[in-house]
Chain A
Amino acid sequence: MILEGDWLKNADPSRGRFRSLLLKSLKNFLNDAADKIHARKRGGDVSFISWDAWMSEAPSELSMSTQTLTSLPAERLFDVRWAATVVERALRRLREECERKGRRRVFDVLSAYLTVERDDVSCASLATKSGVPKGTVKKLLYRMRQRYRWLLRDEVAQTVENPAEIEDELRHLCGALAASSEQAR
C-alpha cells in the first residue's frame, strides 16, 4: 500500500538518498493512516494491510534482542532493517555467483567466515567441510571477502546519488547500528 501508484517514477535522485525518500514516504503513509483511522471513526471507509502479514513474507531474518527491539525509536529501527536488507542482498548475490558455478556448498561453509580474522580460521577444517583442497580454501576466502565487499558497495551505490556518497552512507548505517546496540544496554 505504501508503494502503490507511480510516485517512484517521479523520484529525483538528485534530491537525496533513496533511504531518506522511503523513510519520508513511510512517515507520510503512517500519518495518512492515522488520519484515516480518525476519519473511519467518523464514518469513513478504509482498508488496511496487516503489517505482520506483510513482514511474515519477508525472505530474510534479522536477529536482535527483545530489549533492543523495544527500546529503539521507529526511525532507528528503520535504519537497522535497511542495513540488514542491503547486507543480505549482497550476500544473496554472492551465493548466486557460487551457485552458478555449482559451488553452493562453498558459499554455505565459507560465508560464515567473511568477517572472521584470518588467524581464527582453520583452513584444514574448512577444506573438509566444503570439499575443496586446503590450499584453495585460503584463496577462496580472500576472493569471497573481496567480492562481498564489492557487492555490498554496489548495493549501496544503487541507493545514493553518486559513488562518492557510498562511504558516507555506509558510515551512517554503521553508526546507526552501533548507536542502536548502545541504546539497548
Chain B
Amino acid sequence: MILHGGLDPLPAITHEPDDCPRCDTALSVNNGLCLLCLLQAGLTEDEDSRSGSLDTLLSEIE
C-alpha cells in the first residue's frame, strides 16, 4: 500500500447508509456494500486464490 511513493486520499464521508441486515452496522463503501462484512470476509483464508482461476473463468465466458 505504501510502496509506490505515496498514499491514496482517504475515503470521503458522505450520506446516511442503511443498517446492514447481517451485522447491523451502518457503514458502507461506495458500492453500497457493508464495510464490516467486506472486512470480515478477509478473515477467511483460502488455500488457493491465484488470479488465474478467476481470469480463466472470465476468459471462458461466451
Contacts and interface: CB of A to CB of B under 8 A. Distances in A.
Interface of A: 3, 8, 18, 22, 54-66, 68-69, 80-91, 97-98, 101, 103, 106, 111-112, 114-115, 117, 132-133, 136, 139-140, 143-150, 152-153, 155-156, 158-159, 166-167, 170-171, 173-174, 177-178, 180-181, 184
A136 B26 CA distance: 32
A22 B7 CA distance: 10
B15 A63 contact: yes
A174 B36 contact: yes
Contact of A8 (B2, B41, B62): B2
Nearest to A148: B41
Interface of B: 1-3, 6-17, 22-46, 49-51, 53-55, 57-62
Contact of B12 (A60, A89, A117): A60
A81 B2 contact: no
A58 B10 contact: yes
Contacts of B55: 97, 101
B6 A3 contact: yes
> Interface residues of A: mostly helix, strand, loop or mixed?
helix
A99 to B, nearest CB: 10
B54 A143 contact: yes
B34 to A, nearest CB: 6
A133 B41 contact: no
Nearest to A155: B1
A18 to B, nearest CB: 6
B26 A56 contact: no
Contacts of A84: 10-11, 27, 29, 35
A101 B54 CA distance: 10
A112 B30 CA distance: 11
28 contacts: A8-B2, A55-B9, A60-B29, A61-B14, A63-B15, A63-B28, A63-B32, A64-B16, A64-B26, A85-B8, A86-B1, A91-B31, A97-B58, A111-B33, A112-B33, A115-B34, A146-B53, A147-B49, A147-B54, A149-B42, A149-B45, A149-B46, A155-B1, A158-B1, A159-B2, A174-B39, A181-B25, A181-B36
